[in-house]
Copies of this chain bind each other. A is one copy, B any other.
Amino acid sequence: MTYCVAIAVAAGSVFVSDSRTHAGVDQISIYSKMHRFDAGPGRQFVMLSAGNLATAQSVVARMERDVEARGHLGLLSANSLEQAAEYIGRLSVEEQQKHRQAHADKSFFPEASFILGGEISGAAPGVLHIYAEGNFVRASQAMPYLQIGEIKYGRPLLDRIISWETPLDAALKCALVSMDSTLRNNATVGPPIEYLVLPAGTRSQGLYRLMQEDDEHLVELRRAWSDNLRIAFDALPGAPGLAGLIGPSAARITRLEVS
């Protein structure tokens, strides 16, 4: 399994991915699912992948070959993220069909899906979800995040915190906590964790980091979230009518303060 999340807010975009792949529970490996493409000045792309690893690797390899060939194909010539997504979707469907035809076994699933982000001079930045069928959708101001892979455990926090106005550092923090919740609940999602932050309009390479399981920031974030969540939970009001049944519960507290 995989968990990748991308958030596009007014201030820029954030990408976070895990690195665990598995073919059965006793065949677990580490592969990066974050792919960055250097497509010349003013053109940067980042892609996150989920699903069949062979399909994802073939798609990435073909994208890189097309960039190296300096031809009119692919990321070098796309005038928008949508054009790039259409190209990637076509490669993905081709790779899936190639192996689907070669394999009659119904338990073989060549499907892969992608999140594409980045910036092309003059075109709107953003993040797009490319489905296994090759079609795609763009995140919107009303729905500023996209997820692929094991999406459910990490979604409730994104749902409550992320809006178009969320600052970039808060968006990163939220994506990392969302990742941590998923790591805790699905053993097939695992470290190292990679993240990339791309501020809007700066055309910098952004901030990229790879965090191992014992990364100081990741450990501190995990501990702080665990503590803070417990405090936030303890301060919730209790249900009415229980006191008569189980005795008085702790004093009701509904206000938290930061010291």
Q: Does A106 count as interface, using CB distance less than 8 angstroms?
A: no
What is the distance, in angstroms, from A88's C-beta to the closest C-beta of chain B? 27
**Contact B232 A229, beta carbon cutoff 8 Å:** yes
B220 touches A225 (CB 8 A): no
Given B152, B155, B234, B239, which contacts A217 in the complex, CB threshold below 8 Å? B239
A119: shortest Cβ distance to chain B, in Å? Answer: 14
A148 at interface by CB-CB < 8 Å: no
User: Is A257 interfacial (CB-CB < 8 Å)?
Assistant: yes
**Interface size on A (CB < 8 Å)?**
62
What are the interface flags for A247-259 relative to B under an 8 Å C-beta threshold, 1 for contact and 0 otherwise?
A: 0011001111111
A-B residue pairs in contact (CB < 8 Å), sample of 30: A12-B246, A157-B229, A157-B233, A160-B184, A161-B229, A168-B246, A169-B238, A169-B249, A172-B242, A173-B238, A177-B233, A177-B236, A204-B245, A207-B242, A217-B237, A217-B239, A217-B240, A221-B237, A228-B232, A228-B256, A229-B229, A231-B232, A235-B258, A253-B258, A255-B258, A256-B256, A256-B257, A256-B259, A257-B257, A257-B258
User: Measuring CB to CB, which residues of chain A are less than 8 angstroms from any residue of chain B?
Assistant: 11-12, 152-153, 155-157, 159-161, 167-170, 172-174, 176-177, 181, 184-185, 195, 197, 199, 204, 206-207, 209, 217, 220-221, 224-242, 245-246, 249-250, 253-259
